[in-house]
Chain A
């Protein structure tokens, strides 16, 4: 097995690195035995990095004939107990849904990176968070879940790659890393920190019988009683993941009057907006889910009791919004601000929305009280362009280098 420590491709302590490449090298350093992919922007550099590095290390790399091919190659390699990475972007992720369902059913661990782009259809290659519902709600057919990790920086993405392998192998499940075009394409300085999770002993994989009883890695269980029992086991596993693996990060959560919920690149925009709002006397705070499933439901519910309103910011028309509403359970009004198609909300847009929410809600003293007699807070998913209020212009994907300022 190719587990011996491998000299990193880039040695300097602090490097300026493109997200896609950093994720690829982090996977290599995490002991990835095989990578399978298919060219698609905005994740092509990940494939290219692997194309050079994996053969150099004597590990498996195949550019498949399609995303179907890639994910099924991943299934094959992972079913023999190998540590496998596969990556794509939104349209390719759709094609991978079939095998993801098989892997969930037959409990094959694989790490899938989705560098999301704008949709629907061929859409655009601009940064977007358009695949939340697709991956977080189960991806393929059947009744299953996939842990979904959402990094907000390149350094975090690198750390989450190793964590994803560990989660996948501990729970024998596919795990997805949900990044967007901005994270994949942008360069930022990182101090590479690598981790190779320990290997688990062979107990289930089909890696030739050699003296033991033959094994079958499969999802087909025809007897309804048996399939229900298997599904019950899967659900018990999912409950265990929900209990133990929820991850989120918070900022300015001591005294927020308005809570912003955002992940990935949207969270970075929100962070800047919150700093500006606080400078102007509006106390906002950020809850940034790192695991989108399992969602930080309880953390969010606890915070929702004490805030005037919750604002969800996404690079979508409102997908995580559903999970936020489920978590908030009506304890506070929930508003939404999103941009789509590769457009990003600007911090100014978010500040404007925070001010508007502040102006139409009442303070909450310790405990949330339902608000009566006030004009209702619009809680339907409202695209920024639909507000009719004065907005900043937003940031086009083409202006990505300018984001460096936004993200500091």
Chain B
């Protein structure tokens, strides 16, 4: 494309640029950490759906405790694991707001198990981004409830032994059984196509919330290169193994009739609003 009058080349068309909702600063995350990718996807969607100005987000405790420094919306810090309760308080008193919750696996699947289950059971109109990297990264790489069997961490130095530490928790599948939940899916940031699917899942969840649906959650299998003792590319390749314990795909999309024991006729609220989401 050229500008005829001057003959000078027009500025090239931008195919991709840093989203506006992503604060223009460097993150504290380790090189190659999936949190950065997931933050960016959220920011892209806040831009695309024009949600940033009407969002109240709730930050967890863990590596992503500083999420409020990176995504330019109003944030409330939550005690460890209590983010779904904090978000409930926000939701019930701010009916117009888009309520976003960001939690890691220690936060959501260990200390905050009660809060997430009951927020889901109540059908709170909130969207939870659940980042599962199978480890407590912030505190130095200890075992999480989601740590794979046999996985070595600083608190399972011989590998997670189910006799000592039980089994990984498939929290998304558990939540999908609850009537208050309208959408649960699990993606991965392993490679570009997977990242694209995660974005589509997040978009679907965001849109269900905007359409007045119930509880939505997107679990994202992410990496922890430092905690796992791998390079960033190695850790991404390892996510294929993680996905054997935590299968990828849409676990529940109530209005589309996808999910365990879902009767498609149950939910008419979202009929006709559904968009294609990856399976």
Contacts and interface: CB of A to CB of B under 8 A. Distances in A.
Interface of A: 33-34, 36, 60, 62, 64-66, 68-70, 72-80, 82, 84, 98-99, 102, 106, 206-211, 214-220
Contacts of B88: 62, 64, 69, 73, 76
A68 B114 contact: yes
A160 B117 CA distance: 36
A214 B89 CA distance: 19
Contact of B93 (A33, A65, A106, A209): A33
B108 interface: no
Interface string B48-64: 00001111101100000
Given A206-B56, A208-B54, A76 B77 contact: no
Nearest to B114: A65
Interface of B: 52-56, 58-59, 65-66, 68-69, 72-79, 82, 85-94, 96-97, 114-115, 117-118, 122
A84 B88 CA distance: 13
Nearest to B77: A218
A73 B89 contact: yes
B162 to A, nearest CB: 28
A130 B257 CA distance: 54
Q: Which DSSP category, helix, strand, loop or mixed, fits chain B's interface? A: helix
Nearest to B80: A98
Contacts of A74: 89
Contacts of A36: 89
A218 B73 CA distance: 14
30 contacts: A34-B89, A34-B92, A65-B114, A65-B115, A65-B117, A68-B114, A69-B82, A72-B85, A73-B86, A73-B88, A75-B76, A75-B85, A76-B88, A78-B89, A79-B76, A79-B90, A206-B56, A206-B74, A206-B75, A208-B54, A209-B52, A209-B72, A214-B75, A215-B74, A216-B68, A217-B75, A217-B77, A218-B68, A220-B65, A220-B77
Contact of B115 (A60, A69, A78, A220): A69
B85 A217 contact: no
Nearest to B117: A65
A119 to B, nearest CB: 23
Nearest to B81: A68
A208 B94 contact: yes
Contact of B74 (A73, A82, A209): A209
B182 to A, nearest CB: 19
Nearest to B86: A76
Contacts of A209: 52-53, 55, 72-74
Contact of A65 (B66, B86, B118): B118
Contact of B76 (A34, A68, A217): A217
Contact of B82 (A99, A208, A211, A220): A99
Contacts of B93: 33-34, 60, 76-77, 80, 82, 84
Contacts of A62: 88-89, 92, 122
Given A33-B93, A34-B92, A80-B94, A216 B87 contact: no
B85 A64 contact: yes
B106 to A, nearest CB: 16
B89 A84 contact: yes
Contact of B86 (A75, A98, A215): A75
A73 B52 contact: no
A264 B68 CA distance: 43
B77 A207 contact: no
Contact of A76 (B54, B55, B89): B89
B86 A80 contact: no
A70 B122 CA distance: 14
